[in-house]
Amino acid sequence: MVFSSLTFWFFYLPCVLMIYYAVPMKVRNIALFAVSLAFYGWGEPVYILLMLFTIFVNYIAGWLIEKDSGKKSKQRLWLISSVVINLGLLVFFKYSGMIVDTLNMLPFVNISFTAPALPIGISFYTFQAMSYTIDVYRQDTRAQKNPLVMGTYVTLFPQLIAGPIVRYKDVEDQLTKRKETLSKFSSGVVLFLCGLGKKILLANRFAAMWQHLGAADAEGLLARWAGLLALTLWIYFDFSGYSDMARGLGRMFGFEFMENFNYPYISKSITEFWRRWHISLSTWFRDYLYIPLGGNRKGFSRQILNLFIVWAATGLWHGAEYNFLIWGLYFFVLLVLEKLFLSKILKKVPAFVSHIYALFFIMIGWAIFNFTDINALWQFICGLFSASDGIFSESSGRVLLAYLPISLAGMVLSTPILKVLHRKLYNKKFYPVVLFAGCALVMVLCTASLVSDSYNPFIYFRF
């Protein structure tokens, strides 16, 4: 089940809210745990057992680590054991097929293997569970004694499928002492509808535009670049929209999750882009991989090696295909170049130049991200710099004109313009009426869109 579906917001969500607010405060975590398992098991009930096993492993590991306080060797053993089990499950379900295919490239190797189906959201909830155990080991948080609270943390349905990656220490107090208020609930509804609008009214349209213009053999230089723009906007509005919906749902149940996107396409460098894009993942890799490896504390050469490891891991985290590894290393190279000399140049040139530089390499990065077929990727990249087949064909020209208004709207709305307007109008007497009317309009348009069109892809569903 996805948030951007009629089933979710006309059936599942109303039922869950009624159940949640009908039961006493002391059993609301139990209610959330139950409905979150139902949400996850809607499409893949068998993988509920895998999630419960993950909860059990990390709960026991956290308890043992705290029990053996002062016995560093034993604590390290429990931590390593839990990390190995977590990563072992992730590798088996997500990367075993890639590993076997790679081994089969070797001479005289022919392994017959059928890769298992990928459990939805395994990359997200595995990282969440691992952060809990690591934080208990570091004494950044106390071990959770109540297994149901631990289960609620891992399975919490607003951020279960696609994040943001919520660390236990950030929501520890909220799990047991949160306060649900009318103002928090109403702001959650507004944030959810903003995310819904991003997903249904914008991301789905850009996905359709990419389908028309994004083929490796698309005709015309302008058509290919317009297709790449559509992909760039699709990925942003798709994922940031889903994150906004998750944060909005969290507020409806009294939780406050971290912001996951901060207008990344206004960045003037790749370094800035990764401070604004998928913030929860970048923070996770920084705190649990980059810094433990030594960060920038052991000299420049070691820092480069640490960055290489982090960005290779970041690429592979997104998928078990070589293009994701290439995508991660592509950004590694750009970030290293900025550390060496590019950042100094970018500070001296006009802002619009550095902005164009960042957008150019971000868009090329999304092409690498999208094409799992390396030959098709190369053909598309080459086509971006060749006008041998003209600027655009007649058919692509019609598509460009049809999608021109939504493309302009997407480019404007990927900037903080609505945020600025919100701040300026927030204290005006008429603003609540405008806000209510806007939310109602978004709801009506999203409902009409889903009723009339079943095309509702979610690009991050495969992670």
The residues, ordered by sequence, that sit 6+ positions from 209 with a Cβ below 8 Å of its Cβ are 226, 227, 230, 234, 399, 403, 406, 407
CB atoms within 10 A of CB 219: 18
**First vs last Cα of the chain: how many Å apart?**
15
Tokens 């390396």 -> residue: 374
Could you tell me if 206 and 410 are in contact, meaning their C-beta atoms sit under 8 angstroms apart? Answer: yes
Catalytic, out of 278, 318, 355, 422: 318
DSSP assignments along 55-119, one per residue: HHHHHHHHHHHHHTTT-HHHHHHHHHHHHHHHHHHHIIIIIHHHHHHHHTTSTT------PPPPP
Torsion sign across C-alpha atoms 138, 139, 145, 149: negative
Q: Known catalytic residue: 318?
A: yes
Residue type, 229: L
The residues, ordered by sequence, that sit 6+ positions from 417 with a Cβ below 8 Å of its Cβ are none
CB atoms within 10 A of CB 420: 10
Spatial separation of the C-alpha atoms in residues 263 and 341, rounded to whole Å: 25
Q: Residue 44: enclosing H or E segment and its boundaries?
A: none
Could you tell me if 174 and 255 are in contact, meaning their C-beta atoms sit under 8 angstroms apart? Answer: yes
Spatial separation of the C-alpha atoms in residues 266 and 404, rounded to whole Å: 21
Work out the burial of residue 48: count CB atoms within 10 Å of its CB; fewer than 13 is exposed, 13-18 middle, 19 or more buried.
middle
Inter-CA distances, 205 with 186, 261, 327, Å:
28, 20, 25
Spatial separation of the C-alpha atoms in residues 342 and 451, rounded to whole Å: 49
Q: Which amino acids are annotated catalytic? A: 318
